[in-house]
């Protein structure tokens, strides 16, 4: 894998910015699923109002976390995302995933907000998974950094497929239906404005599935060029809006 793919798919030190102390909340799921499915790396919940989150030491700010951070899952609301990305840039975090919606799919104001957020990220050397992303899963590495409810399963079936999607609900459906039929995945992730589908092939062994909006034909084209003899299936969906120009 490239350094970028390694930071995305195999992070060992993960910050959860805005992690909730309530295990039932959406913003607690990533921490719950990471521990449930056996993540062996280090987790750093960031919550300025709690010294501990779900039994693990919490930090008031990203700057308070000692050492390097490989991957940050930004769980704060839309209005706080740009500041969180700036914090990631200041700490040298290579990859940040953004859960919040209200960006390019929300009209002109959201498009402007997304552009500012991406500009902040690119100026600081941060690549963004999202916004409106349910996260990333690497089954063999037991890295289940996602809020997708399909991950409520007690165990995940490892496989040889890679799935990158522009739809979290499609990702969850494919994971659960594949498992029911005895198939599993190597890596899955929900993309959006910054990453391209070509990255799917860094993790795929037999089959790569790209579920993309028709608004990103360039990303699909780049992915096809990376097949390198593997069998690839590309699925496209008309769901969603937004001017998403993915980078390779």
Do the domain assignments include residue 157? yes
Do the domain assignments include residue 244? no
Same domain, residue pair 81 and 146: no
Same domain, residue pair 170 and 209: yes
Same domain, residue pair 161 and 108: no
Q: What is the pLDDT of residue 187?
A: 66
Spans in the chain with pLDDT lower than 50 = 204-207, 212-222, 224-225, 227-229, 231, 238-248
Q: What is the pLDDT of residue 71?
A: 97
CA distances from 35 to 59, 128, 175 (A): 18, 23, 19
Do the domain assignments include residue 248? no
Domain boundary pick from 100, 129, 158:
129
Same domain, residue pair 14 and 87: yes
Q: What is the pLDDT of residue 246?
A: 40
pTM: 0.81
Do the domain assignments include residue 134? no
Q: What is the pLDDT of residue 96?
A: 96
Do the domain assignments include residue 243? no
Domain boundary pick from 75, 108, 129:
129
User: How far is Cα 224 from Cα 212, in angstroms, rounded to an integer?
Assistant: 13
Q: What is the CATH number of the domain that holds 177?
A: 3.40.50.261
Q: What is the CATH number of the domain that holds 40?
A: 3.40.50.720
Contact predicate 166/216, CB 8 Å: yes
Query: What is the number of structural domains in the chain?
Result: 2
CA distances from 208 to 64, 77, 214, 246 (A): 38, 32, 18, 17
Q: What is the pLDDT of residue 78?
A: 96
Domain boundary pick from 129, 156, 177:
129
Do the domain assignments include residue 246? no
DSSP class of residue 112? H
Same domain, residue pair 218 and 112: no
Q: How deeply is 125 buried, as exposed, middle or buried, from its count of CB atoms within 10 A (0-12, 13-18, 19+)?
A: exposed
Range(s) of the domain holding residue 98 = 3-129
């Amino acid at each position: 894998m490239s350094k970028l793919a390694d930071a995305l798919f195999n992070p060992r030190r993960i910050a959860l910015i805005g992690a909730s102390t309530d295990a039932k909340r959406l913003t607690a799921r990533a921490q719950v699923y990471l521990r449930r499915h056996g993540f062996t790396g280090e987790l750093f919940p960031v919550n300025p109002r709690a010294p501990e989150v779900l039994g693990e030491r919490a930090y008031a700010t990203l700057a308070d976390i000692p050492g390097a951070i490989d991957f940050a899952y930004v769980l704060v609301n839309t209005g706080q995302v740009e500041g969180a990305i700036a914090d990631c840039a200041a700490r040298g975090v290579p990859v940040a995933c953004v859960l919040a919606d209200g960006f390019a799919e929300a009209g002109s104001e959201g498009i402007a907000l997304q552009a500012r957020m991406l500009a902040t990220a690119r100026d600081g050397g941060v690549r963004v998974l999202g916004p409106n992303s349910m996260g990333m899963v690497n089954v063999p590495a037991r890295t289940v950094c996602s809020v997708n409810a399909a991950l409520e399963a007690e165990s995940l079936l490892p496989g040889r497929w890679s799935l990158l999607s522009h739809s979290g609900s499609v990702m969850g459906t494919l994971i659960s239906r594949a498992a029911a039929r005895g198939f599993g995945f190597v890596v899955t992730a929900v993309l959006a404005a910054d990453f391209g589908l070509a990255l799917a092939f860094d993790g795929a062994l037999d089959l790569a599935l790209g579920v993309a909006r028709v608004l990103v034909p360039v990303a699909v084209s780049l992915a096809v060029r990376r097949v390198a003899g593997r069998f690839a299936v590309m699925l496209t969906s008309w769901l969603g809006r937004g001017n998403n120009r993915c980078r390779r």
